Amino acid sequence: MLDRPYILAETTWKTVQATAYEVAVLPWGATEAHNYHLPYATDVIESDRIAAEAARLAWEQGSRVIVLPTVPFGVNTGQLDIKLTINMNPSTQLAVLNDIAASLAQQRIPKLVVLNGHGGNDFRQIIRELLPKHDLFICALDWYRCLDLSKFFDEAGDHAGEMETSLMQYLVPELVLPLKEAGEGRAKKFKIRALREGWAWTQRDWLRATSDTGVGNPKAATPEKGQRYFEAVTEKIAGFLMELAKTDRQDLYG
């Protein structure tokens, strides 16, 4: 058996019943096309691996963190016309997260972190609705927003670009096609100024906005860049988990 007591899927009841967990981490991804060269499970793999490594670092420093199985489906309402992209509506996410929160609260797990790896997921309003219902601290973080990507990549990209490609080249090189197979990740911008500048918002129609489902050119990606970023982002998230673990959820303000 693997010696990873911070991964629930690999942990037995013998260990669980003897451990006073302080923080549960729920990685949440998506199942969607990622240009021509990355697998549909890219967001799932990235979130799963980042959660596991951050939890390992926190666990080794004495924080009792447990990583729940990764949710593989995200909000993809703008990509339903792309074959085998699987959509989970926000209302379904609310129902799923409500059930998980209810379970943890009943079991006296005090804190839950939703570790999000998909741009279409937004848990803020869901958390607002759930917090009054459960005796449980809940927060969410987007791991891809934790660091300044310009310090790691020439042009990080938004979807299947240099950042994601580098990360996947490092984590699961066997699942990444050669970069000569990748599209250039060109994306069209909105014609309407407010939408283009970001002070008005609507979702993108992915097939109309992109040529290969990618947003950002992956050509400069390398596994070395992916490793450097992975180590930095997991270290930062681990620091957050450790700080959260030792903080009284009834005493969050100073």
Domain residue limits, the chain: 8-246
Q: Give 65-116 pLDDT, tens digit per residue.
A: 999 999 999 999 999 999 999 999 999 999 999 999 999 999 999 999 999 9
Q: Are 71 and 112 in contact (CB under 8 A)?
A: no
Q: How many other C-beta atoms can be found within 10 angstroms of the C-beta atom of residue 151?
A: 10
Q: Say how far apart CA 201 and CA 193 lie, in whole Å.
A: 11
Say yes or no to pLDDT of 51 above 80.
Answer: yes
* Surface-to-core class of residue 125, CB atoms within 10 Å of its CB (0-12 exposed, 13-18 middle, 19+ buried): exposed
Helix axes 42-60, 223-246, angle to 10 degrees: 50
Q: Say how far apart CA 110 and CA 214 lie, in whole Å.
A: 39
* Surface-to-core class of residue 118, CB atoms within 10 Å of its CB (0-12 exposed, 13-18 middle, 19+ buried): buried
Q: What is the pTM of this model?
A: 0.96
Angle value at C-alpha 152, between 151 and 155, nearest 5 degrees: 95
User: Can you read off the two tokens belonging to residue 190?
Assistant: 């909105």
Q: What is the mean pLDDT of residues 188-212?
A: 96
Q: What is the mean pLDDT of residues 237-254?
A: 95
Binned at pLDDT 50, 70 and 90, residue 2 comes out as confident
- Could you write out the DSSP letters of every residue in 87-149? B--HHHHHHHHHHHHHHHHHTT--EEEEEE--TT---HHHHHHHTTTSSSEEEEEEGGGSS-G
pLDDT at position 6: 98
Instruction: Look at the domain 8-246 and name its fold.
Output: Rossmann fold (3.40.50)
pLDDT at position 1: 60
To the nearest whole percent, how much of the chain has pLDDT over 70?
100
Q: What is the mean pLDDT of residues 236-247?
A: 98
Please state, in angstroms and as integers, the Cα–Cα distance from residue 31 to each residue in 46, 114, 135, 213, following that order. 12, 17, 31, 13
Say yes or no to pLDDT of 121 above 90.
Answer: yes
* Surface-to-core class of residue 123, CB atoms within 10 Å of its CB (0-12 exposed, 13-18 middle, 19+ buried): buried
Q: What is the chain's alpha carbon radius of gyration, rounded to the nearest angstrom?
A: 19
Q: Give 4-35 pLDDT, tens digit per residue.
A: 999 999 999 999 999 999 999 999 999 999 99
